[in-house]
Amino acid sequence: MRLATWNVNSIRSRLDRVAEFLDRQDIDVLALQETKCRDDQFPFERFDELGYEVAHLGINQWNGVAIVSRVGLTDVELAFPNQPGFDKEAGESLISAPVVESRALGATCGGVRVWSLYVPNGRALADPHYAYKLEWLAALRESGARWLAEDPQAKIALVGDWNIAPTDDDVWAPELFIHKTHTSQPERDAFRAFLDTGFADVMRPYAPGPGVYTYWDYTQLRFPRKEGMRIDFILASPTLATTTKDAFVDREERKGKGASDHAPVIAEFTV
């Protein structure tokens, strides 16, 4: 199984690129983030023509997650258990279904439980959105731990845009992010908690050391200057991780006109 995750930064703007990527990389399952459209605006027909089933969760022009699969797509869930929402007016996070954002979508594809995740950005360390981010991650980790406790052999992939650079090797200039989000110790601790639970960052063994990034801001020529961050991940459960054959970033998709500011992460499993 070739599984990929990609913050596409608007599926309608990059539909042709996504279609070409699926063919070029022979992708079986693709998790998308920041689709930026409602369910009724998602281009289901194009994926159907390509032989893929789609599950999508989109409420408005913000956020939005999808799973695209040609190896089956069943047991769709629109949120993980106790997923916090965010009340923009009150400026606080809530465990309440009416305010849960379109940030998590789960489905079983070819025997693997795939979660497409768009972790809250956090904005700033003093912003209520930062506390929301940490609560969101804690709730997801609790769910992940429970899934593994219930079935230690479960094949689970937690994939997407995590909005965290977990080590200094994952950002081009750590000193520029002191007292900012994405590299703060609480965020890094939250990411580490998933690894401590048993999930594995499957790409790291294939791309050790600094300079391997998945995101480059559009401003200040970040991409050609190689000033990026590694914030997109495929975290695999223990059983799934042992089947990893390869994992890499497709930097080609960050090049050219109309590219997303993220590149896809791809992993191949022998499931």
Catalytic residue among 28, 56, 118, 130: 118
How far is it, in rounded angstroms, from Cα 254 to Cα 11? 15
Active site residue 262: yes
How far is it, in rounded angstroms, from Cα 67 to Cα 5? 9
How far is it, in rounded angstroms, from Cα 46 to Cα 23? 13
Tens of pLDDT, residue by residue over 30-68, are 999 999 999 999 999 999 999 999 999 999 888 999 999
Active site residue 56: no
What percent of the chain has a predicted confidence (pLDDT) above 90? 92
pLDDT at 95 exceeding the cut of 80: no
| Residue 270: Cβ within 10 Å count | 8
Tokens (6 digits) for 57: 């969760």
Catalytic residue among 28, 129, 161, 201: 161
Tokens (6 digits) for 26: 């022979």
Residues 6 or more apart whose CB falls under 8 angstroms from that of 242 comprise none
Binding residues for Mg(2+): 7, 34, 161, 163, 261-262
What is the pLDDT, as a whole number, of residue 43? 98
How far is it, in rounded angstroms, from Cα 124 to Cα 44? 36
Catalytic residue among 56, 129, 182, 262: 262
Parent domain of 175? 2-269
What total of structural domains would you count in the chain? 1
What is the pLDDT, as a whole number, of residue 100? 83
Q: What is the mean pLDDT of residues 181-206?
A: 98
How far is it, in rounded angstroms, from Cα 128 to Cα 107? 30
pLDDT category of residue 87 using cuts at 50, 70 and 90: confident
pLDDT at 77 exceeding the cut of 80: yes
What is the pLDDT, as a whole number, of residue 97? 45
Tens of pLDDT, residue by residue over 203-258, are 999 998 899 999 999 999 999 999 999 999 999 999 999 999 999 999 999 999 99
CATH code, domain carrying 151? 3.60.10.10
Q: Are strands 156-161 and 200-201 parallel, antiparallel or unpaired?
A: unpaired
How far is it, in rounded angstroms, from Cα 126 to Cα 147? 32
When computed from its CA atoms, the radius of gyration of the chain, rounded to whole angstroms, is: 17
Binding residues: 7, 34, 161, 163, 261-262
DSSP secondary structure, 214-265, as one string? SB--TGGGTTTTT--B--EEEEE-HHHHTTEEEEEE-GGGGSSTT--SB--E
Active site residue 168: no
What is the pLDDT, as a whole number, of residue 52? 98
Q: What is the mean pLDDT of residues 72-93?
A: 87
Residue with tokens 């025997």: 111
CB 105 within 8 Å of CB 78: yes
pLDDT at 94 exceeding the cut of 70: no
pLDDT category of residue 90 using cuts at 50, 70 and 90: low
